[in-house]
Structure 1
Amino acid sequence: MGVKAASIDEYLDEVDPASRQELERIRVLVTRLVPSVEESMSYGMPTLKYKNRALVYFTASKRHLSFFPSSWAIEELKDRLTDYRTTEHAIQFTLEKPLPTPLIEDLVRVHVREIDADRQ
């Protein structure tokens, strides 16, 4: 990606078609689950915001895709993430082993709950 994307659509335009389709799936899923999300770019990553706070980020790289739901969500659901590489803030996955829809939904619900509780 040569020029920094100004929108999620611009970011996705530069992603290979298979990865783009998977990131679009996540985008649609989160938006359906939390219809009030606002789209933006933050730290060069597609970002869906809830109550003016980052709810999730998602990215594509050469070897994997990443989903950033919050460290709280990762910690709470770590027993369901053992098949994925995780960091404090991110879950890495591949097109061959994507994140299941129910898992994404639960990760998002945890973070929504924490934002609603004004956890910092």
Structure 2
Amino acid sequence: MKTFTNVDEYIREFDGETHDRLVTLRKLITDTAPEAVESISYGMPAYKVNGKPLVYFAGYKSHIGFYATPTGHKAFEKELSKYKQGKGSVQFPLNEPLPAKLITEIVLFRLAENQAKHGKGK
């Protein structure tokens, strides 16, 4: 498994539809949570606010993995029910449109949750 030092490097490893969706997903996250610190964690792009995890994502041959920790997935259980899931993960197939509005809503939820639990002055 290749070790990545930054998100640009990670995304460059992919081509075609996977690459394009990773770029789109990254932009959704950074536009929604511009204060998030971007890094590589667990071998994939990771975003933190107040030093605590916000969301992660990963590219695969037939889907994009999105990880909003268990709370993000639990809060959007109904909306995510049409997608294949694991504990704290969801798979967005490459043969379906990326659910940009839903992803944005999840990032906003996780951002508010993170700031409420770990915001400055806490």
Structure 1 residue runs without a partner (length 5+): none
Query: C-alpha displacement at 1:58, in angstroms?
Result: 0.6
Match of 1:83 in 2: 82
Q: Tell me which amino acid in the other structure corresponds to 1:92.
A: Q
Match of 1:55 in 2: 54
Match of 1:41 in 2: 40
Task: Report the Cα distance in structure 1 between the residues aligned to 2:57 and 2:64, rounded to whole angstroms.
Answer: 7
| Counterparts of residues 13-32 of structure 1 (less than 5 Å) | 13-32=12-31
Task: Report the Cα distance in structure 2 between the residues aligned to 1:82 and 1:58, rounded to whole angstroms.
Answer: 18
SS of 1:48's partner is strand
SS of 2:26's partner is helix
Question: Displaced runs of 4+ in structure 1, greater than 2 A?
Answer: none
Deviations 1:10-56 (A, max 9, x none): 11111123101101111101111111111100010111221212211
Query: C-alpha displacement at 1:113, in angstroms?
Result: 1.7
Deviations 1:53-87 (A, max 9, x none): 22111101223210111211111111111210111
Q: Tell me which amino acid in the other structure corresponds to 2:114.
A: I
Task: Report the Cα distance in structure 1 between the residues aligned to 2:11 and 2:110, rounded to whole angstroms.
Answer: 24
User: What is the CA RMSD across the aligned residues, in angstroms?
Assistant: 1.5
Match of 2:115 in 1: 116
Return the TM-score normalized by structure 1: 0.90
Task: Report the Cα distance in structure 1 between the residues aligned to 2:103 and 2:62, rounded to whole angstroms.
Answer: 20
The number of aligned residues is 118
Return closer, same or farther for 1:51/1:64 CA change in 2, 3 Å cut-off. Answer: same
Structure 2 residue runs without a partner (length 5+): none
Calculate percent identity across the aligned residue pairs: 32
Alpha carbons 1:72, 1:110 under 8 Å: kept: no
